Amino acid sequence: MTTYRHREETLNTQLAILLSRFGVQADAETIQAQGRERPDVLFHWRGLRVVIEGKFADHPQAREVVLQDARGRVRRGIANIAAAVVYPAALRTVSTPDLLGQIEASLLAYCMTSEHEETAWFEGTPAALLLDALRRTQETLARDDLVARIARSLLEQLSGVALLAAAYDALCERELQALAKLNVDPVRRAVDDALSAALGLPDLAPVRAMLAREPGLTGKAMG
C-alpha cells in the first residue's frame, strides 16, 4: 500500500486548481516556483493581486508563521490581498487521486490581510468561505479607497477655501480701480490669481485684457 506524505507545495497547487473552478486563474509557474520572494499561489482577482500562503496544521506555530509570510507579501507590494491558510494535517496522507476532492470538502483555517485590514481567523471550505472572504476584503479595500479619494477631494476644497479666505483678508480693504482699467488693476489681478489658485483655473490675465477692450467699458466704438 502506497504511503503518501504530501508537501505544502502540493496542496498549494491543488488549491489553485480548485480555485480555477470558480473562475480564478492562477499562474502555474508561480505556483511551482521556488524562492523566498515567490508566493505559494498568486493570481489576479477583480483587478487585485492576491497571494495564498499555506502551512500544514502540524507545522510548529503554523498560524503565526503563515500569517507573517502573508503580511510580508502585502508589505513588500507583492500582493494587495494575502490569505494565510492552514491545511488540516490529515491532508498530508490523502492519496493523490483523492486530494483535490478532500481539499474541496475540508475546513481550512484562514486569515485575510490587506493594505488596510486584517481579519480574525476563520474556518471554512474554499468554495463557501475563502472566496467570500476575498470578496469582502476586496469590497473593504474599494470602500477605503473611495473614502480616501473623498478625503483628498475635501482637503483640496478646504485648501481652496483657505486660499480665498486669506486673499479676502488681504484685499478686502483695498480699493478697486474703474472697470475700464481692470487689465492694469493690481487688486483685480490679485483677486483673479486667488481664484485661479483655489479653483485650478488658468491665468485670467487674457480674460481681463479682453474685457478691458469691450466698448461698453472703453466708450469706444467697435471697429
> Over the stretch 176-196, which tens digit does the pLDDT of each residue have?
888 778 788 888 888 888 777
For residue 24, what are the domain limits?
Answer: 8-146
Say if 54 falls within a structural domain. Answer: yes
More confident residue, 39 or 15: 15
> Over the stretch 128-169, which tens digit does the pLDDT of each residue have?
666 677 777 777 776 766 555 655 655 565 566 666 777 777
**pTM of model > 0.95:** no
Burial of 76 (0-12, 13-18, 19+ CB in 10 A): exposed
54/87 Cα distance (integer angstroms): 7
108 contacts 85 by C-beta, under 8 angstroms: yes
187 contacts 175 by C-beta, under 8 angstroms: yes
- The DSSP-derived string for 44-89 is EETTEEEEEEEEETTSTTHHHHHHHHHHHHHHTTS-SEEEEEEE-G
Q: Are residues 131 and 166 in the same domain?
A: no
**Chain position carrying cell 503565526:** 64
Q: Which residues pair with 82 in a beta bridge?
A: 51, 113
Last residue in a domain, options 102, 128, 146: 146
Q: How many domains does the chain have?
A: 2
Q: Are residues 161 and 124 in the same domain?
A: no
Q: Are residues 121 and 55 in the same domain?
A: yes
**Mean pLDDT, all residues of the chain:** 77
